[in-house]
Structure 1
Amino acid sequence: MRKWWPLAAVCLGSFMLIVDTTVVTVALPDIAEGLHASLTSLQWVLNIYTLVLAALTLSAGSIGDLFGRRKIYLFSVAIFGAASLLCGLAPNPAVLITARGIQGIGGAAMFVTSMALLGTTYSGRDRGTAMGVWSAVIGVAAAVGPIFGGLLTQGMSWRAIFYVNVPISVLTFVLTMAFIKESQQPEQARIDIPGIASFAICSATLTYALIQVGENGWSSPSTLGMLALAVVALVVFAVVERKQSHPMLDLALIRNPSFLAIMLTAVASAWGFACLVFTSLWLQSALGLTPITAGLALLPLAVATFVSSTLTGRSLHGVSPRVTIPLSLVLIGGGAALNGVLVHGDADWTALAPGLLVMGAGVGVGMPVTTSAVFASVPPERAGMGSGALATFRQLGQALGVAILGLVFATTIRDELTGKVSDPGAGARALTSGLHDTPTILHAAAAHGVSAVYLATAALTLVVALIAAFCIRSPVPTKTSLNEKPTKVH
């Protein structure tokens, strides 16, 4: 039993930080009332956390490799707990947004070092089991966040969704101190400051641009300016990394089709969770469910994810990722397509159950095998780099999913309302703002919007499944040197 205490410490921290990506969604109306916050402020309360996660995750993995993953994990847990306390005490929207950004700093370091600690603490079949349990916790956390948010907000206050992190942080800190050993890159290398800075700028500006698209469109000066800055920062990052003797991201991996396919898989899988944002709006704004019941309607996804992840860690440990990764994407895409067909104007919340169960099975199959495939593609001393890349692509995938699916959602609603109401744009904003007591005419439009979101997700994941089935056959290098011979992933 003692050997699983490190897993408990890692899972506690991971559960806490992933829940905070979705727990705020159902509390936004209460936050608006309590802090007199505008809609723009509420959007930043939700988005700043994801933005910082995406910008700093890969950088945090590199720092953990150099200074020690246990040390950085402890530091990140302390930051996350303190920032959560500040969120709960926030007297105005500005303080809350700032504290959420600090949460993102702690969350980025915690998330990437979590995977690296598991990769270096466990090996063989134990690693498969640990990754399966950890992946199940991640999937369940993302799915049940709205349920916890609804329970705490309705039962106590919106501030409780942040206060609850404080005792969990303390317990995680104590377990980590007691049961996790230090691990780090053996050679003494200096921090790749230029690489960290350029990648952080690229990630932050790209994520910010995607957020702006939903509000200002693709052609707005702010969106185009941020996209241009992201491209420049990416070019600088590539140039810098090619000249570094110890880069935080080995560009040899980027040139390998298998590694790129795994990263693309992470992006596509993240769209499944991005769908939940618009599903929650439909459940609450159109169907009139409470935050708690809306969260419970999403429970099939959490249950299926937990069950399939736990089983996958053991039963699929020796199966090639060229089989399991495409299978997971087919399940996610198939479940999304099922929801796209079953959700219509007369549908109620029960229409979601079959599709969410299939999607959850796909998420559960994919998360542990994807993580294991990444660890197989990098040497042990660069586990932080590999896990950081995977976590970064997942966060960027979710940001991209929310932005693009938000456009699909709003555009479909406007098209459905055109000719039926005097201002289709106002009707769409009423739904996308999460307002309650919407007119009956908006209900069918909202259902069509959710259906379009799921169909778009199905299209992406099934295309990526086809790419993964072909590309993961290619060799993946196991050394950071550009000149060393790669080995194959079996």
Structure 2
Amino acid sequence: MSPRRTIAFIVMLAASFMVAVDATIVVLALPAMMEGLKASLDVVVWAIVVYLLVVTVFSTQLGRLGDLRGRARVFNVGMALFGLGSALAGASTNAAELIAFRAVQALGGAMMTSNTMALISDYFPPERRGWAFGWSSSVWNLGAVVGILAGGLITTYWGWRWDFYVNVPVAAIGFLLGLRYLEDLGERTRRSFDIWGAASIGASLLLFSMAGLEIAALGPTETAFLEAAAGAALLIAFALIETRAPEPIIPKSLIGLKMFTMSSLSLFLQTAANYAVLFLLTMYLQGVRGLNPFQASLWLMPGYLIGAVAASAGGRLADRLDPRLVASTGLTMQIIAYLLYRAVLTTSTPLVYIPIIASVNGVGAALFYSSNGKLVMWEVPRSLYGAASGTSRTFGNIGMIVSFVLAIVVSAAAIPRELAFQIFAGLTSLDPALMEPFIDSLRSAFLASAIIMVIAAALSWARLTHTPRQ
């Protein structure tokens, strides 16, 4: 690979790293933000929620926009917005400003992440994409670890505002290098952008997401039902609009690609199961074992680190072996990890078991991500790389929301929802009388995650019956 393309790939990896850091760095800063902005937890937590909402709502449309207007161009604008949003979030004077500026930051993140998979596919031939996606997954895992550690250290020694300010120089350098070295190698098609389709799918995803968060916070309320019903109606409207649009947001030819559809559904199910486990372990370590957020993160960190190493190796395996086999093996490893969690977690489980099982889970996830990214793009024509990248990212983001709802709903079977949020934020621990019922609910949640992962693995193994066309 030429030096110019190497620098361009480093810019893509830097974006993945930065977005991953920001996904975890804020969690440990919640108590400090509550104090600094004089806001309650149910308000400040929206600094996390709004980020997930914006990325979920806009990824599909921004991926398609990359096809039509240039993936590198959309990516670079996203890098600039991410840096701007970070600077403004750090300077926030109240919670409302923080939430608004986090939305700006999230929009920038969505512009980058929805086009990264497409850009990698532009820059690397199919026989090298496993290696490239492996590095992307590895950097994401490292970013999550750095975010956990940096969040505790930066908030403790420099204050929560610097959790956002640290992004600014990285984004500035990334933007300048992107302008200089990142090129559009795809087949840009200067056609009309489907505004009505983008608006309808965005509103539908927003309403579905809000319904899920409403259920997590308050249970199955009438408002949640109405939001879900309205989301379903808009989804139907989106489907009708797409049949008439000259340039649909999700082209019919893309949905017709069996490998893309099966791989995206596998990603949805995997994230729905996987991220719930992170929430559940965090609540176990902080609520039952009485650790603070930084201490809890240290016990979870080995899984991320080993996953980061395994992702690079998994990417090379995906290039040498059948990536369907590598991805499916990874999901099977994750099922084993979830069943082990269910079997061993008690109020007095040796904590050393956590990083051991987390490492099994981390390796499994790494094998899946590095291989599944290659499979998502395997049959996709270059003119639709952006649409495929953004749509697949949306599947994953929806899975994360489902995962969050699953974790909170199952926890709320044993403890009040407000207490579950406080435990996750590290503000309190459980009363001893509630620990056994809470452990029982955690076991049920791990079993539910294992069942979801079994469905994902079955779908993934079924891909072996389909012969993809290059």
Please confirm whether the aligned pair reaches a TM-score higher than 0.5, indicating the same fold: yes
Query: Residue 451 in 1 paired to residue 443 in 2?
Result: yes
- 2:457 aligned to 458, 465, 485, which one? 465
Query: 2:187 is matched with which residue?
Result: 185
- Residue of structure 1 equivalent to 2:75: 73
For 2:74 and 2:420, how far apart are their aligned partners in 1? 44
Report the equivalent of 1:236: 237
Stretch deviating more after TM superposition (150-159 or 7-16): 150-159
By how many angstroms is 1:432 displaced? Answer: 5.0
State the identity %.
27
Provide the C-alpha distance between the structure 2 equivalents of 1:236 and 1:63, rounded to a whole number of angstroms.
Answer: 20
For 1:29-62, what per-residue CA distance to the aligned partner results, in whole angstroms no more than 9, with x for missing partners?
1111111212221231211100010000011101
Q: Which residues of 2 match residues 405-420 of structure 1 at below 5 A?
A: 405-411=407-413, 413-414=414-415
Shift of 1:471: 4.7
User: How far did 1:449 drift?
Assistant: 4.0
Q: Which amino acid aligns with 1:230?
A: G
Question: 1:172-193, CA deviations, whole angstroms, 9 ceiling, x for partnerless residues?
Answer: 1122123221234333311111
Structure 1: tracts of 5 or more residues without a match: 415-423, 476-487
CA distance in 1, matches of 2:417, 2:6: 53
SS of equivalent to 1:91: coil
- CA RMSD across the alignment: 2.2
- How many residue pairs are counted as aligned between the two chains? 467
Q: Is the Cα contact below 8 Å between 2:64 and 2:386 reproduced in 1?
A: yes
* Contact 1:198–1:236 (Cα < 8 Å) also in 2: yes
Q: Could you say what secondary structure the match of 1:349 adopts? A: coil
Conserved? CA contact 1:332–1:358, under 8 Å? yes
Distance 2:184 2:357 in 1: 42
Structure with larger RCO (C-alpha < 8 A, sep 6+): 2
Aligned ranges for residues 130-169 of structure 1 at < 5 Å? 130-169=132-171
- Deviation of 1:282 after TM superposition, in Å, equals 2.7
1:4 equivalenced with 2:6 (yes/no): yes
Residues 291-332 of structure 1: per-residue CA shift (max 9 Å, x gap): 332221111221221111101221221433432222121112
Contact kept, 8 Å, 1:285 with 1:435, in 2: the verdict is no
State the partner residue of 1:419.
none
Do 2:141 and 2:305's aligned partners in 1 also have CA atoms closer than 8 Å?
no
Summarize deviations over 1:425-445 as a string: whole Å, max 9, x none: 776565356323543334444
Q: Distance in 2 between matches of 1:367 and 1:137?
A: 12
Cα shift at 1:373 = 0.8
Code of the residue aligned with 2:370 in structure 1: it is P
Task: Work out the CA distance in 2 between the residues paired with 1:172 and 1:403.
Answer: 34
1:51 paired residue number = 53
CA–CA distance in 1 between the matches of 2:322 and 2:418? 50
- Matched AA of 2:189: E
Q: Does structure 2 retain, via aligned residues, the 8 Å contact 1:337–1:355?
A: no
Q: Which region of structure 1 is more displaced relative to structure 2, 129-138 or 252-261?
A: 252-261
In the other structure, the counterpart of 1:304 is 306
Structure 2 vs 1, CA of residues 21 and 449 (structure 1 numbering), >3 Å: closer, same or farther? farther
Question: Which residues in structure 2 correspond to 1:7-18 (within 5 Å)?
Answer: 7-18=9-20
d(CA) in 1 for partners of 2:36, 2:29: 11
- Does the alignment pair 1:344 with 2:336? no
Alignment match, 1:440: 432
Q: Is the 8 A contact 1:57 1:108 kept in 2?
A: yes
Q: CA deviation at 1:359?
A: 0.9
Q: Say whether the 8 Å CA contact 1:373–1:489 is kept in structure 2.
A: no
Cα distance in 1 between the residues matched to 2:114 and 2:438: 36
Q: Which residue of 2 aligns with 1:480?
A: none
Q: Report the TM-score when normalising by structure 1.
A: 0.90
CA deviations on 1:262-316 (whole Å, 9 max, x unpaired) are 1221112213133222322332333232333222111122122111110122122
The one-letter code of the counterpart of 2:426 is G
Note closer, same or farther for the CA distance 1:425–1:69 as it changes in structure 2 (3 Å cut): closer
For 1:245 and 1:142, locate their aligned partners in 2 and report how far apart those are by CA, in whole Å: 40
Tell whether the 8 Å contact from 2:282 to 2:424 is kept in structure 1 after alignment.
no
Give the Cα separation in 2 of the matches to 1:266 and 1:425: 28
8 Å CA contact 2:122, 2:186 repeated in 1 = no
The structural deviation recorded for 1:461 is 0.4
User: Which residue in 1 is equivalent to 2:255?
Assistant: 254
Sort the Cα spacing of 1:39 and 1:119 in 2 relative to 1 into closer, same or farther, 3 A: same
Q: 1:450 to 1:158 in 2, by over 3 A?
A: farther
